[in-house]
A and B are shown apart, each in its own frame.
Chain A
């Protein structure tokens, strides 16, 4: 998009540039209409203006971001001279969930126990971002150690939903979702263990993708539940998500669960789909167990069904598919996740890094330092899950809880395997409800129940996407979820790109354009 004249950058069009998509910003960079330093500066200014109200960021390092932007500009000059091609997003800034370690830059997992910790190494996906010259604007807020669905459970303050500052931005990647939704960053990286990318994307009117487990390296992603955690892109459009997906996804010998032969090149898939806007022959299965019912907001289900109509219009064959064991998926998830988390979080013991608290009185033994540190450093939700997970794994309960949950997981995986015989992609609402008000779900179980739609993809390791399908009656975004078989991430992007285009035609633009203006400081 070359319609941003250089002279206008500092004025109104600077504002329109940061409201454009990452692909458009990349085009402006490629055309020489703006430098990465200028683009990064614009975003830093926006963060300075609105983040006081939004609270998307835990840490913004302008100096490092601008240095990376300069390096991106230099890379563009070198490439131009050598007539070489660069990753499309070269110079487009991004934000990274603070669960992902960044060398030399504070990483806290939104926990007091890691307050001030500066990692000596980069996560593999961060290395990928740096190699592709995406300046990192800062680290985004989350529920402590990714535990929660509202970003209310951060030790360093909550993040607000840009659509309504009195409401949650979803979680645990709420900071990344809000940064993208509030035009503070064109794209951001999140992580999804039980829906932590898709649910915040749904409630902020953005696009979030949980790739196939093993296609984006977990090395350097602070573990909550190792067998479920999946980093992925968060963006304003399906194309932007694909572009970021292509940057962060890589085979990583440092991650034993990394897939060596994962599908790549999602942006090409999106562009091809946008050129055709045709889904003829695509079999779309509506997951019967997730199609409304108790706990679902009526207008969320309506929005979902309207989107289904568009898919049919594009030529897709829509039918209902049943995955009978999804009934138990939520329960299995809330046994497996805390079990793994209780073990993964054992290392925060005050011995090597982060917080260390010595007992106020009595002998200073290793056991007592560990206990005092953990007592002071972990928040309630984290403690709840550690206790639950410890119980689930303990001798005498292992078979009844952890063992049974793993069996359910296998049954869910078999359900999916059977479903792929009938459908190429499966669909459901991303979340049963729109963004709720802060403090509205103070019962943890009520919060857990909202994960019912997103958890199955994590248990099965399959890729899933959320994209906006419209607004609810109260003017809040509703998310549409698409799932595909393992390694078939391209199907998400194809179906998502077509649906997005049809929806935008209907709305006359992107849904995010309808978000209320934030008061600029």
Chain B
């Protein structure tokens, strides 16, 4: 365990500068340079063509959809789109790299010079400067057999699965993010979350962190003060949770601060994020790797027409931040309510519920209340619960029309979640509808009063609170199907009337 400085102390004494390189796997039907299907989770080495296996003689051809998605991303991040750009070869030997070079873009990215506004917890907006977004292909996957936790250390042998080889990636590189101060960890995590939301809104990727669809390399360096030149940085590779990104930045700031305060120097190195939020040194980057970049001679330069770029721009969907602002207003939610909704991942389901014909407030109440509780119990995501927004809206409609009380509605909800069908079906099957027959209600009230003459006297004597006991008795007698407010009215009418 490295020596650490208290985080507050560290950011008081040093100015942290962070940088992020975010890779997103694009959800195209086929790979970036060949026709192999781009699917997750298939049997190893079944999703390959001669090209994605790098067989002798095979050649790449650019996937037009991949280029379109890259342009979409570039535009959404406020970037310029290059008039011409090229692919380059990044040469290095690694078993998961089937041509022993990665087709990427080095000095000629498709998109450059952008900015991403990132909303923070306290409602402020921090703008992250974007240097570039470029296209490249993913590598295959090494599977180490015989070691602990699938790590290469101690493994007997390794197998390679090339299904992922050639899957299109866009890499988004920030400029050094300065002025973040103590908010650096939050800014880093919120930035990647913002990108994730943008990718989803654009429809270019499922952007599932747990599948590694989105992965971040996190750079951190410290300097004495903001006017000093940038300090030596470390790069922590492939962090794929928001909490992990926050933890890595926080840990590296504390770790590097302890080193610098002790008069030491920070090693420029690659580090690996650990499950406990710490980082561990990987190989030392004494010199930059020599990738021997040169323009990919098998691919002609790309020149996206301006008309095409403008068409893509015109077709961009509403960005998540703007959409959240709009929905917040439309639904009449407070800032903190909206933030909770977003953090709970409930935005989409609430929006769908509203679209199915209910109010924002009512939809929020269901999803953030009862359904969030169930989801937590079942350890599942809200949108994976066996209930649809349409069913939730229907449930609320039954309440609004007076056919269900809130209490009955919760029982119906339980029925729907248990797979008993739509709310109407559950109501019918369980006989949960509010008792609206006035005659039957009156009979039940009279029965309860007759059974509790002392209570009736108290009420007459002015102790109105005692009415609750009668209402309770009626509710019990009607198995909760009576509307308590109506029962109360009837009791008062009978006793005082």
Contact = CB atoms under 8 A, between A and B. Distances in A.
Interface of A: 100-101, 107, 109, 114, 117, 119-121, 123, 218-223, 225-227, 253-257, 339-340, 342-343, 346-349, 351-353, 366-367, 370, 390, 393-395, 398, 402
Interface in B82-98: 89, 91, 93-95, 98
Nearest to B162: A352
B437 interface: no
Contacts of A342: 91, 292
A170 B290 CA distance: 37
Contacts of A348: 56
B154 interface: no
Interface of B: 50, 53-62, 89, 91, 93-95, 98-101, 158, 160, 288, 290, 292-294, 297-300
B50 A117 contact: no
Nearest to B62: A256
Contact of B99 (A107, A119, A221, A346): A346
A347 B56 contact: yes
Contacts of B101: 343, 346
Contacts of B53: 352
Contact of A256 (B55, B60, B292): B60
Contacts of A121: 50, 55
Given A347-B100, A367-B93, A394-B292, 20 more contacts: A101-B55, A119-B57, A123-B57, A221-B57, A255-B61, A256-B299, A257-B298, A339-B294, A340-B297, A342-B91, A343-B294, A346-B100, A347-B54, A349-B93, A351-B95, A352-B54, A352-B55, A352-B98, A366-B94, A366-B95
A346 B294 contact: no
Given A219-B58, A394-B290, A395-B290, A120 B50 contact: yes
A225 B89 CA distance: 14
A120 B100 CA distance: 20
B261 to A, nearest CB: 35
B56 A101 contact: yes
A346 B298 contact: no
22 contacts: A101-B57, A119-B56, A119-B57, A121-B50, A222-B57, A223-B56, A223-B59, A226-B298, A254-B59, A346-B91, A346-B99, A347-B99, A349-B100, A351-B98, A352-B98, A366-B94, A367-B93, A393-B292, A394-B290, A395-B288, A395-B290, A402-B294
Contacts of B300: 256-257
Contacts of A123: 57
A254 B94 CA distance: 26
B249 to A, nearest CB: 30
Contacts of B294: 339-340, 343, 393, 398, 402
B89 A343 contact: yes
Nearest to B56: A222
Contact of A390 (B95, B292, B293): B292
A351 B160 contact: yes
A107 B58 CA distance: 13
Contact of B61 (A107, A256, A366, A394): A256
Contacts of B89: 343
A253 B61 contact: yes
A402 B293 CA distance: 11
Contacts of B54: 347, 352
A317 B57 CA distance: 42
A352 B290 CA distance: 24
Contacts of A257: 298-300
A254 B63 CA distance: 11
Contacts of B94: 366
A100 B292 contact: no
Interface core residue of B60, B61, B293 (most chain A CB under 10 Å) = B61
Interface of A is mostly: loop
A343 B95 contact: no
B292 A219 contact: no
A402 B91 CA distance: 15
Contact of B57 (A219, A227, A340, A366): A219
Nearest to B33: A256
Contacts of A340: 294, 297
A256 B300 CA distance: 6
A294 B325 CA distance: 79
Given A121-B50, A226-B298, A352-B98, A346 B59 contact: no
A255 B294 CA distance: 19
A221 B288 CA distance: 34
Contacts of A254: 59, 61
Contacts of A353: 55-56
Given A120-B50, A256-B62, A257-B300, A346 B57 contact: no
Given A351-B160, A393-B91, A226 B57 contact: no
B288 A114 contact: no
Contact of A343 (B59, B91, B158): B91
A221 B57 CA distance: 5
A97 to B, nearest CB: 12
Contacts of B288: 395
Contact of A120 (B55, B60, B61, B98): B55
Contacts of B57: 100-101, 107, 119, 123, 219-223
Given A343-B101, A346-B99, A256 B298 contact: yes
Contacts of A117: 56
B440 to A, nearest CB: 77
Q: Which 5 residue pairs of A and B lie closest in terms of their CB atoms, listed nearest first? A: A346-B100, A393-B292, A226-B297, A227-B297, A220-B57
Interface core residue of A120, A256, A349, A390 (most chain B CB under 10 Å) = A256
Contacts of B292: 342-343, 390, 393-395, 398
A30 B374 CA distance: 80
A101 to B, nearest CB: 4
Contacts of A347: 54, 56, 98-100
Contacts of B56: 101, 107, 109, 114, 117, 119, 222-223, 347-348, 353
Nearest to A109: B56
Nearest to A229: B297
Contacts of B59: 218-219, 223, 254-256
Nearest to B50: A121
Interface core residue of A109, A343, A348 (most chain B CB under 10 Å) = A343
A249 B53 CA distance: 26
A353 B298 CA distance: 22
B69 to A, nearest CB: 19
Contacts of A343: 89, 91, 101, 292, 294
A367 to B, nearest CB: 7
A63 B275 CA distance: 61
A256 B299 CA distance: 6
A255 B59 CA distance: 6
Interface core residue of B57, B60, B158 (most chain A CB under 10 Å) = B57
A253 B51 CA distance: 13
Contacts of A223: 56-57, 59, 298
Interface core residue of B58, B89, B94 (most chain A CB under 10 Å) = B58
B267 to A, nearest CB: 21
Contacts of A395: 288, 290, 292
A478 to B, nearest CB: 33
Nearest to B93: A370
A243 to B, nearest CB: 24
Nearest to B51: A254
A97 B288 CA distance: 41
Nearest to B299: A256
Nearest to B298: A226
B56 to A, nearest CB: 5
Nearest to A353: B55
Contacts of A221: 57
A514 B54 CA distance: 46
Nearest to A345: B100
Nearest to A220: B57
Contacts of A398: 292, 294
Nearest to B160: A351
Interface core residue of A109, A253, A347, A398 (most chain B CB under 10 Å) = A347
Contact of B158 (A100, A218, A219, A366): A366
